[in-house]
Amino acid sequence: MTSSCRRLPHPVLLGPSAALVLLAAVGCTSTDPSASVTVPTPSSEAAAYCRALHKELPRSVAGLERTDPAPRSDLTAGWGDGAIVLRCGVARPAKMDDSQSKATEADGVNWLLEQREDDGPRFTTTLRKAYVEVTFSAAYAHDATPLAAFAAPVKKTVPSGL
């Protein structure tokens, strides 16, 4: 396949207004991979817990407003355009079998901690009837405090147990 390129007879200079419009259009284009997530496919029992959790999730977390990722689902939620993303009904992480895995507790909810390369941490609930995963952007690489916002909704809607 060949491509043709036609040269204009005179150099074309964009005026300041046209340049600003072009920059604004480029700036509004979303290429952020966190703007969309894979929706989990849990069992019907876990999906029911996840739907209940979805209704209880906060409107803001760590000062970030809720901006759910695409595709819209009762199994996913987001805050700050992908800075914090929750997926409910995920598969049990293999890391839970590793006796050297790290965990943390936030207001009565236990979370498995997985450090991700080139990104922030991923936390997954443990000892619950449905696994809830929360990922943070690199801005939260050393800050697990946003997990506290999920403790009450998780405790209320996703029962303890295996």
The two three-digit tokens of residue 104, written as one number: 């943390």
3-state secondary structure of 61: strand
Mean pLDDT computed over 69-80: 97
| Whole-number pLDDT of residue 162 | 78
Q: What is the pLDDT of residue 35?
A: 61
Q: How much is the pLDDT for 36?
A: 85
pLDDT of residue 17 exceeding 60? no
Strands of the chain, DSSP E: 60-61, 64-65, 76-79, 84-90, 102-106, 109-114, 122-125, 131-136
Q: Write the pLDDT tens digit of every residue in 100-143.
A: 999 999 999 999 999 988 889 999 999 999 999 999 999 988 88
What would the pLDDT profile of 24-73 be if each residue is shown by its tens digit? Answer: 333 333 334 446 899 999 999 999 999 999 999 999 999 999 999 999 99
Give the separation between CA 21 and CA 28, rounded to whole angstroms.
Answer: 11
